[in-house]
Amino acid sequence: MSQLEEKFEFTDENRNEADSCIAKYPEGREQSAVMPILYIAQRQNGGWLSQSAMQYVADYLSMPPIKVYEVATFYTMYNLDSVGEYHIQLCRTTPCWLRGANSISSAIKEHLGIENGETTDDGKFTLSEVECLGACVNAPMVQINDDFYEDLNADRVRSILDMLISGDQPKSGSQSERFTSAPESGPTTLIDEGKSKC
């Protein structure tokens, strides 16, 4: 642990949440809770996992630190460096790319004055280009912290950023008023109740 790095310890609230996660696993298999426990630690630590936080999780789960580090370094949901207050993860996988992820990327970079992997000078925003975030039908999309923003275009993403800059919370989900993952044109099946011939 670096001398400059603060000692990490769960708050009472996060300790209760961690214990609830551990209780979901059978006796003797408590270490299987490492992923949700790391996520709790990351959230408490301002969006990233310090060496101290990973060591704490290892001690909390009575597991070798290397096992915790293996998990934290394998999955991209864990950040090993500090990120901004709002961590923008831009999906660059094929469905998002085909539907305009490049224009979303350009809009974010121009609006915030940062490139991929950078954080704004005020520490408010970090941009990361990532692989599939699992909302392909509503592409293109970004994840900001724990919220998904789907069916984006350059204007919509700039509007979301402006709301965050001003301290407002944008509505997550589809930005085109699409209902969940229905076709953009609206539902095409099961739209007439009570007319089944079965």
What does pTM read for this prediction? Answer: 0.80
What are the tens digits of pLDDT across the range 94-111?
A: 999 999 999 999 999 999
Instruction: Find out whether 178 and 151 touch, Cβ atoms under 8 Å.
Output: yes
Assess if residue 124 is contained within a domain.
Answer: yes
Residues 103 and 65 reside in one and the same domain:
no
Cα R_g (the chain), whole angstroms: 20
Residues 133 and 95 reside in one and the same domain:
yes
User: How far is the first Cα of the chain from the last one, in angstroms, to the nearest whole number?
Assistant: 67
Provide, rounded to the nearest whole percent, the portion of the chain with pLDDT above 90. 81
What are the tens digits of pLDDT across the range 134-150?
A: 889 999 999 999 999 99
CATH of the domain at 157: 3.40.30.10
The pLDDT score that the predictor gives to residue 2 is: 42
**Distance between CA atoms of 101 and 137, rounded to whole angstroms?**
13
What are the tens digits of pLDDT across the range 64-97?
A: 999 999 999 998 889 999 999 999 999 999 999 9
Residues 95 and 169 reside in one and the same domain:
yes
Query: CB neighbours of 87 closer than 8 A, spacing ≥ 6?
Result: 47, 79, 125, 126, 128, 144, 145
Assess if residue 161 is contained within a domain.
Answer: yes
Assess if residue 6 is contained within a domain.
Answer: no
Total of domains in the chain: 2
Alpha helices in 80-130 (DSSP H): 94-98, 101-112
- Tokens 């970090």 belong to which residue? 126
The pLDDT score that the predictor gives to residue 183 is: 80
pLDDT at residue 54 is higher than 80: yes
CATH of the domain at 59: 1.10.10
pLDDT at residue 197 is higher than 80: no
Question: Average pLDDT of the chain?
Answer: 91
The domain of 150 spans: 86-174
Average pLDDT value for residue range 160-169 = 97
The alpha carbon dihedral of 42, 46, 49, 52 has a sign of: negative
**Which residue, 39, 54, 74, sits at the end of a domain?**
74
pLDDT at residue 45 is higher than 70: yes
Assess if residue 4 is contained within a domain.
Answer: no
Query: CB neighbours of 86 closer than 8 A, spacing ≥ 6?
Result: 124, 125, 126, 144, 145, 164
pLDDT at residue 182 is higher than 90: no
Residues 94 and 163 reside in one and the same domain:
yes
Query: CB neighbours of 111 closer than 8 A, spacing ≥ 6?
Result: 157, 158, 161
Query: CB neighbours of 184 closer than 8 A, spacing ≥ 6?
Result: 151, 176, 178
